[in-house]
Amino acid sequence: MANKDLTVLAFDLGASSGRSIIGKLKNNNLELETLYRFENGGIRLFDSFYWNILNLYQEIKTSLSLFVKKYGKNLNAIGIDSWGVDFVLLDENDKIIGLTHHYRDARTKGIMEEMTKVVPKEEIFTQTGIQFMSLNTSTQLFSMVLNNSSQLSIVKSILMIPDYLNYLLSGVKSTEYSIATTTQLYNPLKKKWANGLIKKLGLQPEWFCKLIEPGTILGTLQDYITDEVGLDKNIKVIAPLCHDTGSAIAAIPVDIDKYKNEEWAYLSSGTWSLLGVELKKPIISEKALKYNFTNEGGIGGTIRFLKNITGMWLIEECKKIWDKENLNLSWEDLEVQTMDAQPFQFFINPDDKTFLNPSNMIKAIQQYCKNRYNKFPETIGEISRVIFESLALSYKCALNKIEDIIQKKIKILYIIGGGSQNSVLNQFTSNALNLTVNAGLIEATAIGNILVQALALNKIDNVSELRKIVRSSFPMEEYLPKETNKWEKVYNSYLGIIEP
């Protein structure tokens, strides 16, 4: 029997932080160890917002050095995943052009409306199946076209964030399927770049790199990196599902013998909330366009049919302010104060543009409520309760639309990611949706990243085995719905806010 043990490193790069996580697979059981955590985030420079992409590269090398110091050279492979939509421009010498913009940069304000004058919404959606958001890669690039950016005159390649880091590590330029689908420039029906749309937007198809499948072994770490960090020269660089949500959904521990493909839904709960179902084929229909759903790439050629909803960003931004006020507020304290606050006093639309990137999230929420209710939440508990109740109700709205589109009833919801630690939001979600919720897998993205590397190295046979390993390795907490009548009553009034 072949040895199926392995040790790999997953680099999970989020919008506010990054981490390197060691995955050890032994006897079909996965063990995780967080090796290193580091800060990430946007940097304001004058009136623009950027990423420090080279710092991420440096932190990856720091992680590799730390691994060597702790465990020596016994490492099979590494894989990188990150958030979607953002990209790096390269010139003819493969040198980076300019600073790397953050998706929350103001350059896309009003651009989506201009873009859809050039190419109608229906045509863009028909070609890509991707929901319309001002932060999309397509919108960011079109803003550069519209503003006659001099950078576009010297572009030779466009790489998404994890693709660029993979290039620095392996020397191979390519774009992985799941991250490509986030661009709104990929055709999921033809399974290639949407070249017709790309040309109409004033971009060049040759800028976009060769597409590869998740689980592709790109090569080995470049010699100058292994020499610098002290690793052997045969460390594989593997492209997992390079979009973090793609990796996370790959790790959903669903029992396929119990639930069929369209009977379970997932909620990847982090800075963003991504709620959806796993499908075999994309749904590109009038109703999907009307409801602004998206078709992103998943494990084994599947489609993650989902809705992007502003998530823990709201409470994270509030907590930053409370932390600056030296309130010593833990997440557990926050949950207690939330439950002490009176329910159903205020509601907000989490996706209102007011909350995209305000200078002060607390004041933004209070002003929104004052405009609507002529009063506003004041205490920590009141503000957090507004956020969590509104998020739960927005999830209900999105799930109802999914069921309307696929014409099937969802039987269970899996909540994964960092937000799955929030027991208050988990319970509110179960209540609002009137569904059993299984929550856990805080490091779902890293788990998916690691196990797709295992697939690539033939240590796992298929996706079913992958998810079985997740079920046996990591427990999930079950939440059962409560007070569903009360939640159903407030839902109709909430719809007046989210769908005026």
- Catalytic residue list: 244
Report the amino acid identity of residue 30.
L
CA distance linking residue 425 with residue 13, whole number of Å: 24
Would you tell me how many other CB atoms lie within 10 Å of the CB of residue 369?
20
Closest to 42 in 3D by CA, of 10, 21, 14, 61: 14
The DSSP secondary structure of 429-465, one letter per residue, reads HHHHHTSEEEEE-TTHHHHHHHHHHHHHTTSS--HHH
Angle between helices 111-118 and 121-128 (to 10 degrees): 90
Residue 348 DSSP SS3:
coil
Closest to 169 in 3D by CA, of 58, 83, 295, 70: 58
CA distance linking residue 25 with residue 473, whole number of Å: 10
The stretches of 342-478 forming alpha helices (DSSP H) are 361-373, 380-406, 423-433, 444-456, 463-473
Angle, CA 146 vertex, CA 142 and CA 151 arms, to 5°: 75
Angle between helices 423-433 and 484-498 (to 10 degrees): 90
Give bridge partners of residue 43 from the DSSP assignment: 50
Would you tell me how many other CB atoms lie within 10 Å of the CB of residue 61?
14
**Residue appearing with tokens 């991504």:** 274
